[in-house]
């Protein structure tokens, strides 16, 4: 699984034409996974409708973060032989061009 972390302001600095190109690169990157038959699912996550519940006191705060400059903006699940293969795929993620990060996680194996 890829978790995409970025700052909300990075995308807003792009012109409308640059944003169109950026989202086009996302489409091609994801299409590659579909064509290889390794895409499972994925989605963008809202940054405006989110809450966090934490601790034994079940403290609730608005938003996915308290003082974070980065948010988890979405996820994609793919099939990969191992985390190293997934890392190679992640290196081509368009988010990296805006200074974002891709966190790679594997499913828990029992």
Residue 64: per-residue pLDDT: 56
Is residue 71, in this structure, part of any structural domain at all? yes
Is residue 25, in this structure, part of any structural domain at all? yes
Is residue 63, in this structure, part of any structural domain at all? yes
Is residue 110, in this structure, part of any structural domain at all? no
Is residue 18, in this structure, part of any structural domain at all? yes
- Chain centre to alpha carbon of residue 88: 16
Domain that holds residue 26: 2-104
Tens digits of per-residue pLDDT, 48-83?
A: 787 777 788 887 776 655 555 678 889 999 999 999
Is residue 14, in this structure, part of any structural domain at all? yes
Average pLDDT over residues 3-16: 88
Residues 6+ apart with CB under 8 A from 96: 102
Q: What is the secondary structure of 65-96 as a DSSP string?
A: -SS-S-EEEEEEEE--SSHHHHHHHHTT-GGG
Residue 42: per-residue pLDDT: 95
- Strands (DSSP E) contained in the chain are 2-6, 39-44, 51-54, 59-62, 71-78, 101-104
CATH at residue 79: 3.30.70.1060
Checking if the pLDDT of 14 tops 70, the result is yes
Is residue 81, in this structure, part of any structural domain at all? yes
Tens digits of per-residue pLDDT, 57-66?
A: 887 776 655 5
Average pLDDT over residues 75-101: 96
Checking if the pLDDT of 3 tops 90, the result is yes
Average pLDDT over residues 21-35: 97
The structural domain count of the chain equals 1
Structure tokens at 10: 């990075």
Residue 69: per-residue pLDDT: 62
Q: 6 and 96 in contact (C-beta within 8 Å)? A: no
- Could you tell me the pTM of the whole model? 0.82
Is residue 54, in this structure, part of any structural domain at all? yes
Structure tokens at 59: 């403290």
């Amino acid at each position: 699984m890829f978790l995409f972390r970025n700052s909300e302001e990075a995308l807003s600095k792009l012109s409308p034409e640059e944003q169109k190109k950026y989202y086009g690169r996302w489409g091609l990157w994801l299409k590659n996974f579909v064509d290889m038959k390794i895409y499972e699912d994925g989605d963008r996550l809202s940054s405006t409708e989110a809450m966090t519940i934490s601790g034994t006191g079940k403290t609730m705060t608005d938003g996915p973060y308290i003082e974070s400059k980065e948010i988890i903006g979405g996820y994609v699940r793919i099939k990969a032989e191992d985390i190293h293969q997934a890392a190679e795929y992640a290196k081509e993620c368009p988010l990296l061009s805006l200074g974002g990060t891709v966190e790679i996680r594997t499913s828990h194996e029992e």
